[in-house]
Amino acid sequence: MNIKKTQNGNKLTVALEGRLDTVSSPELEADLKGSLDGITDLEFDISALEYISSAGLRVLLSTQKIMNKQGDMCITGANEAIMEIFDVTGFVDILNIK
């Protein structure tokens, strides 16, 4: 999986490409830990994400909990297959998906 971060002031955009699964989730989680200080607007661009596992969902959920305390988080660019995963798991009610 490729992770590309772009920061503009207090906004951080994290573009994910490939597969967010049990192998890549720990990498994303570690990468985010040092990147969220002072961020009030977090956007995950998942337009190039092919697959997300339960481990990937856990990282998004834990990041959402952090951002609930310091600002907003949204997810953009979800394809049909990933939207179905969000829908089946109930994450459409938890995450701000645009």
- Give the chain's domains with CATH numbers: 2-93 (3.30.750.24)
pLDDT tens, residue by residue, 69-84? 999 999 999 999 999 9
pLDDT at 86: 96
CA 39 to chain centroid, in Å, comes to: 14
Give the β-pairing of 11-20 and 41-52.
Answer: parallel
- Which pLDDT value is given to residue 49? 97
Task: Specify the pLDDT at position 34.
Answer: 85
d(CA 8, CA 80): 29
pLDDT one-digit tens code per residue, 3-45: 999 999 999 999 999 999 999 999 999 999 889 999 999 999 9
The model's pTM is 0.94
